[in-house]
A = this chain, B = another copy of it.
């Protein structure tokens, strides 16, 4: 299991089955695996309410999930502290409201499951089986990927630059929120996304360091410069991680070092992996030598598996996912679904409670039900995961994105962009925004508008620096209750056009005014539908085909 979040309802670990338990011509539900799996955690129907401990609520918090370096943590204890520090707060209440919505979703899924006939599943089976064949046929395992992820990045930079921190548990952030912690702190269960005041409760001697983003950006650049020698086209997933294709580097190394004996395909792959392991070790050594920062790495035949592997031997370690297809598959199937990028705390709970799915193997066993219950996009991604078919395919043209509507909220997020397209996934950013929390303070209308203008001004400055303008302005508001709202509008002339943010504020003010008065804890502004700034405001070609003109400029105006 990937997390201690689920104290009660354990899954039905009945291993590999090629068919879900469906009574022919009958209905799902009743004694089915899914039902059993959920009846414990969804206590609605229980006559006796067992007294709850903190672990019953762990699924409400991202930071209750285990991160690298937290293996030996006493989860029960941590969950208890977290619960006690949280319960009754507005934040906790909001978390509970969200959870209730998730439970409703689960009930809906189970209801659909209960009324699913064998005859409904038949065509699904056909489609899924065909897709499996197709995916396996098109699966591309020709490359070797490496994902490098820095160890407790922000914290590592701070510790490098301040030797007095050595040997102490420390966190980057403040009493409100922690960005990351060093591995000493993690032994206390203290990690990213955890509020500092809870962390301090768990570890009173925890040292807090304020974040210095510019330093991290610079360190990141230094690391990347080294990595680029191994793959000039690497894709930076974030400041602290890089997706690399090291095939070429490895092959060159082999070509220059070893005799070109005629090996069969498997032997060649084995040799490549062997070399890859040494290459990556050397690369990591080079990084730590030059930056005094350690990193970890994963090596595999798909980006996704490399990403997962990079977390396995943290800190300062690396992990190879076996290259043999069967072994690779075994590695994959044994993963808890929570390890799969895109499956977060909510999707994990939904899949477990509605379908009894805890591992990728379960996902494979229940692939037909997934295809039936989830949206096409979601089911497609999950199926690819079970088959290690997450590498970009080289199909000729664009697949028309058939979006099939099914349940009310996304169970699984997008196929993470890092896996989606090839190396040239760089089509620039899609939005830029700025938001600010002011906890209890500002609530007079005047203050709120002042805040809004301030955010607009600062954001505009950043936009101007980066040469970004866009046609969509979004106002984000978080109430004191932690409920989040957004209000957006399409603007005919892209903003911001001036660095003081007055034009941006014009629109933001409008959006804000409609909702006033109101008690807020956060306000944010975002600009999206970005366009190339070298853009002539109106350039309509009569055919209407050459789209220098975006649709939202075409808005018909009565009058």
Contact = CB atoms under 8 A, between A and B. Distances in A.
A397 interface: yes
A85 interface: no
B559 A518 contact: yes
Interface residues of A, number: 33
Contact of A120 (B397, B405, B406, B479): B397
B543 A104 contact: yes
Given A116-B397, A483-B556, 5 more contacts: A104-B544, A376-B402, A402-B403, A485-B556, A485-B558
A558 B518 contact: yes
A119 interface: yes
A446 interface: no
Interface in A349-407: 376, 395-397, 400-406
A58 interface: no
A404 B402 CA distance: 4
A558 B477 contact: yes
B405 A401 contact: yes
29 contacts: A104-B543, A104-B545, A107-B543, A107-B545, A108-B545, A115-B397, A116-B397, A117-B397, A119-B396, A119-B397, A120-B396, A120-B397, A376-B402, A400-B404, A400-B406, A401-B404, A401-B405, A402-B402, A402-B403, A403-B404, A477-B558, A479-B558, A483-B556, A485-B556, A485-B558, A515-B558, A517-B559, A518-B558, A518-B559
Interface string A511-548: 00001011000000000000000000000000111000
Contacts of A107: 543, 545
A111 interface: yes
Contacts of A117: 396-397
A111 B402 CA distance: 21
Contacts of A108: 545
A400 B120 CA distance: 11
A430 B472 CA distance: 34
